[in-house]
Chains A and B, each alone.
Chain A
Amino acid sequence: MDSKRNSRRELLKAGAALAGGITLGTGGKAQAQHDHPMTPGSENASPMIHGSKEQIEYGQRSKYVTSVRVQHPIGGRPSPDVFGKVFHVATPLQDSVGVITPSSLHYIATTRGSFLPDIDPKQHTLTIHGLVDRPLTLTMDELKRFPSVTRLHFIECAGNRHNGKQKTVQDTHGMTSCSEWTGVLLSTLLKECGLKGSAKWFVAEGAEEVKGASSIPIEKAMDDCIIAYGQNGEPLRPQQGFPVRIMVPGFEGIYHTKFLRRIKLVDRFYMNYNEFGHLRPEDKELALGEQIGPKSVITYPSGTQRLPGPGFYEISGLAWSGGGAVKTVEVSTDGGKKWNRAEFKNTPQRMAHVRFAYPWKWDGTETAILSRCTDEIGQRQAMREEIANWWKVPFERDYRVPGLDNSVMPWKIARDGSVTNGLA
């Protein structure tokens, strides 16, 4: 009995010493120094991360989680460029779970390539003027005294276009992100200022070096625009407009002016430099460059990922629309012949990403998987060919969808399980 106990004790000691030897952290070593008997299985399987001031004050993700933003588009203008300016940077949607984009991974776009203004919130003010009875200047502390709202909203860049040359879903769709935004409804502030009946548009202007400005219809201002100071439970990140930005839910990203310093109520469409970027020959195409259409994409499995073999997979993706809440999402696992209703993983909200999923047993044959959605106002996501047909233009491989590209994205799955761009 005694000898049995001793031998077991020796074994445990050896095991613990071995564990301590291969681990890097000192936590493992401390474990090895214990000489009392341990319950089998209670050994620490992993090295310990020592508590540090930084880890305690503002947490970090695991070193094994390496998902990062990349420049967009691939081969386009680098960020940062030689001057240190940032242009377009995409979110790693292939690694996303749920609907919230971590603030650190939110996509970035700037008007023409910009430095990041390092704004002291104590010095920053927001002024509302123009066609109002009482112009108003607010410090950031004063802004926070108004009744607030907290809402989930996506922002998507007009440059979020997919084509056959891209590899990953980050390349094809990474210029959209979704956060929980906190701020004051613009309508609250405009009522406080006494909006004049002659105000038909407003200009929202930022404080960065190009002082980007966009013209937005007053109907939108009085509906759901948010003067946002919070993102995902903390102040906005500088890359997202610290200390304050405007949310124009469902409109293209450029309207969501960052570093907001001024709102001017005007009686007509003020064509600013940002609007010059939207200039198109036809009214119809211009209209499709304002509100985001219904759109969805499968994020798993997606381009450059690999299925290890036949068997069960939960196809997962994101759907959103600038027209309201997503109503339905369908998934096809046979290249678009049969469409199956996907389930929602969260309650769809207006102008917010919703996570959808479809359970699938892959039989190991070559196929293509696709998703499509409809929104609550009856718009539906279409195949590129349908869109070309609607516009009565010939459908070609490099067909460019007018306005923002919200067409269906196919992923091809080869017999070896490799996933590639279905538009290639």
Chain B
Amino acid sequence: MGSLNLLRVVTIPLLLGSLLGSTAFAQSPTYGVGRTPTAEEIRRMDISIGPTGEELPPGRGSAKEGAQVYAQKGCVGCHGAAGIGGLAPILQSKQSADVPVWKKERILPLRAPHATIVWDFINRGMPLGLEGTLTPNEVYSLTAYLLFINKVIPEDQVLDKQSLPKVKMPIGDEYGKPHQFKLNAPRLEGYPY
């Protein structure tokens, strides 16, 4: 009898919770294990830059400054002068401007649908062996430089938190968008394989 009552006490809130969904009201934690990180801790670790650029830090830079950073930080050593001729992936297209972007080389600052991806990758992944050491100004500058040498932006354009997400990338809207993922469904509707 006691255990039955206990069962009711436990199952009714659980049922309610699952019926209403966890979003309907702020449920209290079930286990209470772990700690709440401070807003400052989260801000410092949150390096995911989405398409809107809302996570971008303050700072600014242009292609001219970026050319200097590119030389100073040793980017030339792996990617070659102006992004051509190194052992690491090329960073400037060798194709003429009229070639469609999908026919050009697979170059991040050229093919990326959002300029924020270029910023994000330089910030998290470069330079090799010294990742995470660039300042926001240096990352803005390098992003501007790489976009400039691929003829995406003019040399004097200043990139910052506001202007970077607005850069029009050459790919435009010409790329596949993610489908609505469904559980227990074929990977592509109508595709039997």
Binds B, one of A10-18, A213-221, A334-342, A363-371: A213-221
Q: Whole-angstrom distance from the CB of A87 to the nearest CB of chain B?
A: 13
Check if A378 is an interface residue, CB within 8 A of chain B: yes
* B94-121 vs A, Cβ < 8 Å mask (1 yes, 0 no): 0000000010000010011110010011
Which residue of A205, A268, A276, A378 contacts B108 across the interface (Cβ within 8 Å)? A276
Q: Annotate B7-27 by CB proximity to A: 1 below 8 A, 0 otherwise.
A: 000000000000001110011
The reply on A124 being an interface residue by CB < 8 A is: no
Judge whether A196 and B23 touch: CB under 8 Å: yes
Do residues B192 and A380 form an inter-chain contact, with CB atoms below 8 A?
A: yes
CA distance A245 to B131 in the complex (A): 21
Contact A146 B124 (CB under 8 A): no
Query: Are B131 and A210 closer than 8 Å at their CB atoms?
Result: yes
* B6 CB–A CB distance under 8 Å: no
- Give the complex CA separation of A341 and B186 in angstroms: 23
Let me know if A192 and B23 touch, CB within 8 A.
no
Is B168 at the interface (CB under 8 A from chain A)? Answer: no
B120, B129, B193 interface centre (most CB from chain A within 10 Å): B193
B125 in the interface, Cβ–Cβ < 8 Å? Answer: yes
Q: How far is the CA of A323 from the CA of B21 in the complex (A)?
A: 26
Contact of B46 among A129, A194, A382 (CB under 8 A): A129
Interface centre among A134, A282, A324, A387 (most CB of B within 10 A): A134
A185 contacts partner chain B, Cβ-Cβ < 8 Å: no
Number of residues on chain B facing chain A (CB within 8 A): 51
Q: Which residues of B contact A282 (CB under 8 A)?
A: 176
Residue of B22, B102, B113, B176 near A283 (CB, 8 A) is B176
Does chain B have a CB within 8 A of A51? no
**Cβ-based interface call for B58 (8 A):** no
Choose among B30, B117, B124, B181 the residue that contacts A276 (Cβ–Cβ < 8 A): B117
- Interchain CA distance A398-B74 in the complex, whole Å: 40
State which of B34-42, B59-67, B140-148 sits at the interface with chain A: B34-42
Of chain B, the residue at the smallest CB distance from A285 is B176
A312 at the interface (CB under 8 A from B): no
Q: Are B187 and A379 in contact (CB under 8 A)?
A: yes
- Chain A residue at minimal CB-CB distance from B174: A281
- Which chain A residues lie closer than 8 Å to B108 at the CB level? 273, 276
User: Is residue B50 contacting chain A, with contact meaning CB distance below 8 A?
Assistant: yes
Main secondary structure of the interface of B (DSSP, over half): loop
Which residues of B sit under 8 angstroms from A268, Cβ to Cβ? 50-51
Instruction: Provide the residues of chain A in CB contact with B112, threshold 8 Å.
Output: 271, 276
A379 and B193 form a contact (CB under 8 A): yes
Q: Does B4 contact A (CB under 8 A)?
A: no
CB of A112 within 8 A of CB of B184, answer no
Residues 173-210 of A contacting B (Cβ, < 8 Å):
190-197, 203, 205, 209-210
For the complex, give the distance between the alpha carbons of A264 and B48 in Å: 8
CA distance A209 to B124 in the complex (A): 8
A313 contacts the other chain (CB 8 A): no
Residues on the A chain within 8 Å of B121, using CB: 273, 276
Other-chain residue from A137, A197, A276 in contact with B37 (beta carbon distance below 8 A): A137
B29 contact from A192, A264, A293, Cβ within 8 A = A192
State whether A195 and B178 are in contact (beta carbons under 8 Å apart), knowing that A273-B120, A290-B187 are contacts in the complex: no
B binding-site residues for A, Cβ under 8 Å: 21-23, 26-27, 29-31, 33-37, 41-42, 45-48, 50-51, 102, 108, 111-114, 117, 120-121, 124-125, 129, 131, 174-179, 181-188, 191-193
User: What are 10 A-to-B residue pairs whose CB atoms are below 8 Å?
Assistant: A135-B36, A194-B22, A205-B48, A266-B48, A272-B120, A276-B112, A276-B117, A322-B187, A378-B192, A390-B193
A positions within 8 Å CB-CB of B: 112, 127, 129, 133-139, 142, 145-146, 190-197, 203, 205, 209-211, 213, 217, 219-220, 223, 261-262, 264, 266, 268-273, 276, 279-288, 290-294, 322-324, 377-382, 386-387, 390, 403, 406
